């Protein structure tokens, strides 16, 4: 994956090539879409499929334009909201969908102050040579987020370019959106989150050393570090772990503060993954955990023996859940 930085007085961007076709070596322009694309959910996927199809039809580069850091930081909040898809995961999903290039715009106060016209002229037309734009129903650019499709497309047409706006995608009781997926995860509705995402929700990160308490109890765990990602409520979950590209490994994870040993919960929530029927040294490796079903709440036990008994029961439950999952 190549990265090509560009700078101007009002903005900075990075171009990341997601396939073997190097955009910098081509004379053709781009078909582009704009957004944060957190989750790369079913609605995003519809936009990206339209993007890729339009780029192939025109023999242009399929480009997704996104932002870093999260705009909420520049808008005055102390920290960005927890993400559904860390950048590494987002890139992998976009590559699978056929995106040629990801352009990351450094979101600054200066970029925020650009009018929709200046954004289209300086970034889409002059910098990226966007010939056609695919816009989601909720796409907004420019100062005050005043640049929606009804504003962007006429500006593009003034420069001899074209654009189109896609309708929103609904599922069940409402729109498919990152906000709705976050609400589902925060309420432990793992099934709804998976339906809206078009795949199961996955926690990803690097394995770090913990207190090795799981190994002492006979159930070694990998402590998964995913500090920027949205965690579901504390509890025990069945799912599949993926390690260095291996096929999915049945696993069970505890998310929480381990109240049996940490009465105050002062250490904050942790993600501890136990592989079922496998033993691997995962320290310093990257690991993903695909959540399938919540088994129970996290709770404090009267002693270590009671905790071990419950962990054994959790493993049996996880086996049954995942066995049925494979059948389905």
**Could you tell me the mean pLDDT of each successive run of 10 residues in the chain, 328 residues long?**
53 85 65 96 98 94 89 61 91 96 90 92 95 96 92 97 96 94 96 97 90 73 91 96 83 86 64 88 87 94 88 95 79
Measured CA to CA, the distance from residue 286 to residue 206 in angstroms comes to 4
Measured CA to CA, the distance from residue 261 to residue 301 in angstroms comes to 9
Block residue for tokens 């936009």: 47
Give the contacts of 35 (CB within 8 A, at least 6 positions apart). 44, 47, 64, 65, 66, 136, 139
Tokens, residue 226:
């995913």
Residue 293 a catalytic site member: no
Residue 314: closest CA among 258, 251, 265, 271: 251
Distance of CA 259 to the CA centre of its chain: 29
pLDDT at 303: 83
pLDDT at 10: 60
Measured CA to CA, the distance from residue 278 to residue 263 in angstroms comes to 30
Residue among 46, 101, 272, 290 flagged as catalytic: 272
pLDDT at 33: 98
- Helix (H) or strand (E) segment spanning residue 179: helix 178-186
Measured CA to CA, the distance from residue 153 to residue 165 in angstroms comes to 9
Measured CA to CA, the distance from residue 193 to residue 179 in angstroms comes to 11
Report which DSSP code applies to 198.
Answer: T
b (16+ CB within 10 A) / e for 215-247: eeeebbbbbbbbeebbbbebbbbbbbbbbeeee
Residue 115: closest CA among 82, 83, 151: 151
Distance of CA 215 to the CA centre of its chain: 31
Tokens, residue 35:
């957004």
pLDDT at 219: 84
Block residue for tokens 């049945």: 250
**Across the strands, what pairs with 291?**
239
pLDDT at 257: 84
């Amino acid at each position: 994956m190549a990265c090509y930085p560009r700078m101007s007085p009002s903005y900075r961007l990075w171009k990341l090539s997601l396939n073997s076709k190097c955009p910098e070596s081509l004379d053709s322009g781009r078909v582009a879409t704009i957004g944060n694309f957190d989750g790369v959910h079913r609605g995003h996927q519809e936009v990206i499929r339209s993007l890729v199809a339009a780029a192939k039809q025109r023999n242009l580069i399929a480009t997704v334009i996104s932002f870093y850091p999260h705009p909420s930081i520049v808008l005055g909040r102390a920290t960005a909201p927890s993400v559904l898809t860390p950048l590494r995961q987002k890139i992998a999903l976009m590559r699978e969908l056929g995106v040629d290039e990801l352009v990351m715009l450094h979101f600054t106060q200066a970029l925020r102050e650009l009018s929709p016209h200046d954004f289209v002229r300086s970034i889409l037309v002059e910098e990226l040579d966007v010939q056609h734009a695919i816009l989601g129903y909720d796409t907004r650019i420019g100062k005050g987020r005043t640049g929606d499709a009804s504003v962007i497309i006429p500006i593009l047409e003034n420069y001899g370019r074209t654009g189109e706006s896609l309708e929103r995608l609904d599922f069940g009781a409402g729109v498919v959106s990152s906000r709705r997926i976050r609400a589902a995860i925060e309420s432990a509705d793992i099934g709804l989150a998976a339906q809206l995402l078009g795949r199961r929700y996955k926690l990803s990160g690097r394995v770090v050393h913990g207190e090795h308490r799981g190994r002492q109890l006979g159930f070694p765990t990998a402590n998964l570090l995913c500090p920027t990602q949205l965690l579901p409520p504390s509890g025990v979950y069945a799912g599949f772990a993926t390690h260095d590209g291996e096929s999915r490994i049945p696993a069970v994870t505890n998310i929480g503060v381990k109240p049996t040993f940490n009465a105050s919960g002062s250490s904050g929530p942790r993600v501890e993954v136990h592989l079922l029927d496998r033993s691997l040294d995962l320290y310093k490796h990257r690991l993903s955990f695909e959540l399938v079903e919540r088994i129970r709440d996290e709770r404090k036990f009267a002693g270590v023996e009671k905790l071990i008994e419950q962990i054994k029961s959790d493993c049996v439950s996880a086996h049954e859940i995942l066995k049925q999952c494979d059948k389905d």
